[in-house]
C-alpha cells in the first residue's frame, strides 16, 4: 500500500466516532463495507417516505442543518435540502454569493460563526479539494460534516446514490462489469465511484476515455484504462457516464465537442457493445450531444432521473446516521 493510499485510509477511518458510528461523511475511502450496507438498508426504509402524502419523519426534529454551497449545484443542493426537511430538521441554505466570504471572511471564520448559532451539521460543497475535511477538523465534537463535493477529490453521496441505484436494479455487485466513461481526470464522482465499487466487491472496472482525460497512470486507482470506447463498453452491465468538467480544466483537453462525441459519446451504436440490459447512468448535469446522445439519455435503460430520486433517500440516510447517529426506528 502506498503512503498516500495509507494516509487516505487513515483520514477515512477518522470519519467514525469513538463508538464506531459514522460522525462525518467526507469520502468513501476508509469506510467499512458494512457502513455502506447499513446506509443502503436505511435508505430502503426511507424511500417510502417520499411516496407518502405527508413526506416527513421526525428523525432530526430539533436539529439545525446548514447547507453551505460555495459552488453551483442543482441536484445535490436541492436533494440535501429536501432530505433534511423530510427528516424534520431546520434547514438553512447559504450560497457563497449571499455569504460574508464574498466580503473576505475566511472559510473557518464563516464556520465558527455558523457554529455559534448552534448548528448541528454542515453540508459543504467547495471548489477546493479537502475543504470539507478542513471544516471537519475544526468543528465541535457534536457537529457533523457531510461532503457535497470538493474539487476533484470526492463526492461521496453521489457515489452512494449511484451504487444504491445499481443495487436496486442488479441486487449484488461482485459479478458486475462496470465502465466509467469520460473525464475521469477531473471527476470527484469517478473517484468516489471507484472506491465504492471496489469496496462492494466489483472486480471488473474500466476507465474509458482519451489519454488526456484518462491517463494510463489512473490505473493505480483500481480500474483498467481503455482508450477505445467500444473495447471499454464490451459486455459491461453498467455504464457510468461523466461530463467534461471544463470548470476544472486548465487548457484544451479535447479538440472539439463534435470530435469528442464522435469518439467517446454514448450513442445507441456505441451502447450496442454493452450487454443488452446494461444500465445507463450519469450524475448530471448532462450535456446532450457532447458525452451522451439524447436517444440514450432518454431511453428505457437510462436511470438518470431515478438516480436523482434516489439521492433524496440516500442523503436522508446519511444525515440520519451522521447528524442523528441513529436508525430508522422513528420512521
Ligand atoms: N451530480 C451533481 O453533483 O449535480 P449538481 O452539481 O447539480 O449538484
Tell me the pLDDT tens digit for each residue of 154-170: 999 999 999 999 999 99
Q: Is 198 in the pocket of ligand 1 (CB under 6 A)?
A: no
Domain with CATH 3.40.50.1370 in the chain: 3-151+309-322, 156-299
3-state helix, strand, coil in the chain (%, to 5): 40, 15, 40
The rounded Å distance from CA 285 to ligand 1 centre is 6
Does 283 have pLDDT greater than 70? yes
As a whole-number percent, the residues of the chain with pLDDT over 90 amount to 87
Q: What is the mean pLDDT of residues 231-244?
A: 97
Nearest protein Cα to ligand 1, atom 6: 73
Best residue among 158, 284, 311 to mutate for probing ligand 1's pocket (most ligand atoms within 8 Å of CB) is: 284
Q: pLDDT at position 255, please?
A: 79
Q: How far is the CA of 74 from the centre of ligand 1 (A)?
A: 6
Average pLDDT over the chain, rounded to whole? 93
Residue with CA nearest ligand 1 atom 1: 283
Please state which CATH number belongs to domain 156-299.
3.40.50.1370
How confident is the model at residue 4, as a pLDDT?
63
| Domain 3-151+309-322: CATH class, spelled out | alpha beta
Distance 19 CA to ligand 1 centre (A): 32
Distance 71 CA to ligand 1 centre (A): 10
Answer yes or no: is pLDDT of 192 > 50.
Answer: yes
- 157 within 8 A of 315, measured Cβ to Cβ: yes
Cβ–ligand 1 distance for 149 under 6 Å, the answer: yes
C-alpha cell at 92: 438553512
Is pLDDT of 262 > 50? yes
DSSP H helical ranges for the chain: 3-13, 33-47, 75-86, 107-115, 131-136, 156-170, 188-199, 229-233, 257-264, 268-271, 294-297, 304-322
**What is the pLDDT at residue 3?**
66
- Report the nearest atom of ligand 1 relative to the CA of 155: 3
Kindly state the average pLDDT of the residues 240-264: 88
Whether 75 lines ligand 1, by a CB cut-off of 6 Å, is yes
- For the stretch 27-42, pLDDT in tens is 999 999 999 999 999 9
Instruction: Give the tens place of pLDDT for each residue, 91-115.
Output: 999 987 767 777 889 999 999 999 9
What pLDDT score was predicted for residue 327? 43
Is residue 294 within 8 A of residue 304, CB to CB? The reply is no
Q: Which of 285, 286, 304, 311 to mutate to test the pocket of ligand 1 (most atoms within 8 A of CB)?
A: 285
Q: Where does the pLDDT of residue 248 fall: very low under 50, low under 70, confident under 90, or very high at 90 and above?
A: confident
The per-residue pLDDT for range 51-99, each reduced to its tens digit, is 999 999 999 999 999 999 999 999 999 999 999 999 999 999 998 776 7
Query: Is pLDDT above 60 for 180?
Result: yes
The Cα angle at residue 284 between residues 154 and 23, in degrees rounded to 5: 35
Query: What is the arithmetic mean of pLDDT over 258-269?
Result: 96
State if residue 156 touches ligand 1 by the CB under 6 angstroms criterion: no
> Residue 192, CB half-sphere, CA atoms under 13 Å: how many?
29
The CA distance from 273 to 138, in Å, is: 49
- In the prediction, which pLDDT does 12 show? 78
Ligand 1: centre distance to CA 251 (Å): 23
- Is any ligand 1 atom within 6 A of the Cβ of residue 193? no
Task: Decide whether any atom of ligand 1 lies within 6 Å of the 321 Cβ.
Answer: no
Strand order, beta sheet including 204-208: 224-226, 204-208, 177-181, 238-241, 279-281
**43-47, 157-161, 232-236, 243-247: segment of lowest average pLDDT:** 243-247
Ligand 1 centre to CA of 72 (Å) is: 8
pLDDT at 174: 95
Atom 5 of ligand 1, nearest CA residue: 73
Q: Report pLDDT for 331.
A: 46
Amino acid at each position: 500500500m502506498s503512503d498516500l493510499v495509507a494516509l487516505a485510509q487513515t483520514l477515512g477511518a477518522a470519519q467514525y466516532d469513538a463508538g464506531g458510528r459514522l460522525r462525518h461523511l467526507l469520502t468513501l475511502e476508509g469506510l467499512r463495507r458494512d457502513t455502506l450496507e447499513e446506509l443502503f438498508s436505511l435508505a430502503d426504509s426511507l424511500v417510502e417516505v417520499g411516496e407518502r402524502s405527508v413526506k416527513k419523519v421526525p428523525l432530526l426534529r430539533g436539529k439545525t442543518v446548514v447547507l453551505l454551497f460555495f459552488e453551483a449545484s442543482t441536484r445535490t443542493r436541492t436533494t440535501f435540502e429536501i432530505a433534511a426537511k423530510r427528516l424534520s430538521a431546520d434547514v438553512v441554505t447559504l450560497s457563497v454569493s449571499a455569504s460574508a466570504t464574498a466580503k473576505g471572511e475566511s472559510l473557518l471564520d464563516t464556520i465558527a460563526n455558523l457554529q455559534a448559532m448552534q448548528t448541528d451539521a454542515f453540508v459543504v460543497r467547495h471548489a477546493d479539494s479537502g475543504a470539507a475535511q478542513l471544516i471537519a477538523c475544526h468543528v465541535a465534537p457534536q457537529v457533523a460534516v457531510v461532503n457535497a463535493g470538493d474539487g476533484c477529490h470526492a463526492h461521496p453521496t453521489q457515489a452512494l446514490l449511484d451504487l444504491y441505484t445499481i443495487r436496486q436494479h442488479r441486487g449484488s455487485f461482485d459479478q458486475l462489469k462496470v465502465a466509467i466513461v469520460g473525464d475521469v481526470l477531473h471527476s470527484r464522482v469517478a473517484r468516489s465511484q471507484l472506491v465504492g465499487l471496489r469496496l462492494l466487491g466489483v472486480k471488473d472496472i474500466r476507465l474509458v476515455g482519451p489519454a488526456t482525460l484518462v491517463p494510463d497512470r489512473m490505473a493505480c486507482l483500481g480500474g483498467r484504462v481503455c482508450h477505445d470506447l467500444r473495447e471499454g463498453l464490451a459486455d459491461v452491465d453498467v455504464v457510468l457516464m461523466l461530463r467534461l468538467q471544463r470548470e476544472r480544466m486548465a487548457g484544451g483537453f479535447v479538440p472539439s465537442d463534435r470530435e469528442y462525441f464522435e469518439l467517446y459519446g454514448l450513442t445507441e451504436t456505441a451502447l450496442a457493445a454493452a450487454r443488452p440490459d446494461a444500465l445507463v447512468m450519469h450524475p448530471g448535469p448532462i450535456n446532450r450531444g457532447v458525452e451522451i446522445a439524447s436517444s440514450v439519455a432518454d431511453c428505457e435503460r437510462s436511470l438518470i432521473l431515478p438516480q436523482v430520486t434516489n439521492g433524496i433517500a440516500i442523503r436522508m440516510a446519511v444525515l440520519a446516521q451522521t447528524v442523528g447517529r441513529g436508525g430508522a426506528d422513528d420512521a
